[in-house]
A and B are shown apart, each in its own frame.
Chain A
Amino acid sequence: MLAVMIREFRAYFQSITGFVFMGFFLLISGFFFTLMNLLQSSPDYTSVLGSITFVFLLVVPILTMRLMTEETRQKTDQLLLTSPLRITDIVLGKYLAAQAVFLMTLVITILYPILLSFVGRIAAMEVIGAYIGFFLLGSAFIAVGLFISSLTDNQVVAAVVTFSALLFMWILDWIQQAVPSDRLSGVIFAALLVTGLTLFVFLTIRSWILSAGVLLAGTALVVILFLVNPQLYQGLIVRVLEWFSLLERYNDFSRGILSISPIVYYISFSSAFIFLTVRVIEKRRWQ
């Protein structure tokens, strides 16, 4: 795992992607630091971190687009997958390398609050909390990018799809406000989920019997839940969409609150996507 990570980390700086990522990130953060702290003589650094979360939309695709795509394209995945390494080691190594580049960049920006501390009082603990949240948020996005890069062998496709996926997560908050929240739409939504799951099962294993079983069990579950606790369907869509709302959970950090639940959320979100990446690579061998 360490070997893969070191190789990947070096590769970032052998090509220009590492420098583009760092340069762009530092440019945007420096710009906002100047605008919000220096020019306004404000010591409120946590809100700078809160304002620049949009930068992930642009820089995470740069960081993750080549992770798995290059291996498939250059056929070096043949070396990795026929070595005694486990797939989890390979994927984790790559994830950690991307995370390391991100962390390194983040460490440079610590200069800003240090500069501020010379001329004013800053709440050190709040800044540290905000940095932890910011790092975890970025890591969660990197996990999404890593997953998408395992789906294709084309860097451009990986970058565009990653950008779209992150953009979707961004506008999720707005979508949430627009979706209907009555019981009927909740039931319809649950029915759609069951249909989708059935379709997925059918397309992956092509067994009529098992797919029918999934459909029946799913429908039964939806009906039983409705009879037992119809309240559950009130605002179901909103609640499901909330699972994917990474930004919503960052608000606490930028207010200076370090709570456990978003930290756990970010880490499990990243783990889920790392796990999915491993599954995708595993599955490709069977095709």
Chain B
Amino acid sequence: MIEVEKLTKRYGQHVAVDDLDFSVKRGEILGFLGPNGAGKSTTMNIITGYISATGGTVRVDGHDVLEEPEEVKRRLGYLPEAPPLYLDMTVTEYLDFVAAIKRVDAKEKRRSMEKIMDLVKIDDVSGRLIKNLSKGYRQRVGLAQALIGNPPVLILDEPTIGLDPKQIIEIRNLIKDLGQEHTIILSSHILPEVTAVCERVIIIHRGKIVAGDTIENLSRSLRGSHRLAVRVAGPEAEVLGKLRSLAQIKQADALGSREPETVDFYVESEGDADVRRPVFEAMSESGFPILMMRSVDLTLEDIFLQLTTDEAIEREEVQ
């Protein structure tokens, strides 16, 4: 549905987007992940035809955004980083205007308008001026705007920013539902959001793709070992010695004390070995009660940090 090839955007000497290649299949939800200034918004602005690329091509449904901009724009709903709202209009007036410039015909408009307002839950503020709305409501009006005309492709730039936790969950579920009929690109720097909503993630950093895969594959490829966090009531040095003496443990570190008279440890096992039982037995032999034990899997946060912090990248290059 969306094909991006060799996309590059330069601002003078600064390269904002550097040789990006990816594609999104029909009905897929793609997560676009990266720290601030990574080039997420720039890429989205190019796909939607707001700015032009320095090099490379973008095709939506087979139409090139440079050659047939109107064909592409007809198929897109776009929620930019800052929702493009006219503050001096009421919500209904605004959505009517959007429907008019998207050339939605009157019958279709009447049918879809109520559905959309109900979907993003803004029907209770439909008659109010947008400038009097809270940030959360404005964000939802922005989302409603993107949905008008029922475009097959949705480009959402940080759609849940400025919402409270309850609204965030609502919007995420909404996006998931929309994903059944629409092709969606969603950008975020909130990682759980991407895990919750997207099937596939592209991580970009400094305008380059540093990783692109399904979330499971990403965490599997980066996870070489199992890790445990353990809280033990006992003297630090002795417990550490016991842990290190166990056969299947690659590494054990003390993390310090968070609860009086206990010490937290970080235990890393060799390969896929399950070390919970040996750890328990070793501790109970010595009479040090284990107060907490939990496995620490690599979350998207870890993946993200590993891929995007410069130290991690440099370390990779050295190896």
Contact = CB atoms under 8 A, between A and B. Distances in A.
A76 B76 contact: no
Interface string A48-86: 000000000000000000000000001111111111111
Interface size class on chain B is 20 to 34
Interface of B: 11, 45, 48-52, 70, 73-74, 76, 78, 80, 82, 84-89, 97-98, 100-103, 145
Contact of B97 (A3, A81, A86, A286): A3
Contacts, number: 62
Interface of A: 2-4, 7, 10-11, 14-15, 74-86, 285-287
Q: Most chain-B CB neighbours within 10 Å: which of A75, A78, A82?
A: A82
Nearest to A282: B52
B70 to A, nearest CB: 5
Contacts of A3: 97, 100-101
A85 B99 CA distance: 12
Contacts of A77: 84
B73 A82 contact: yes
Contacts of A2: 100
Nearest to B76: A82
Contacts of B76: 82
Shortest beta-carbon contacts, A-B, top 9: A3-B100, A79-B84, A14-B88, A82-B48, A76-B84, A83-B101, A78-B84, A84-B73, A78-B80
Given A82-B49, A84-B103, A286-B52, A76 B70 contact: no
Q: Most chain-A CB neighbours within 10 Å: which of B49, B86, B103?
A: B86
Contacts of A82: 48-50, 73, 76, 78, 80
B98 A79 contact: yes
Q: Most chain-B CB neighbours within 10 Å: which of A3, A4, A76, A78?
A: A78
Contacts of A10: 89
30 contacts: A3-B100, A4-B101, A7-B86, A7-B89, A10-B89, A11-B88, A14-B89, A15-B88, A74-B84, A74-B86, A75-B84, A76-B84, A76-B85, A76-B86, A78-B45, A78-B50, A78-B80, A79-B84, A79-B98, A82-B48, A82-B50, A82-B76, A83-B101, A83-B102, A84-B101, A84-B103, A85-B101, A86-B70, A285-B50, A285-B51
B73 A285 contact: no
B122 to A, nearest CB: 17
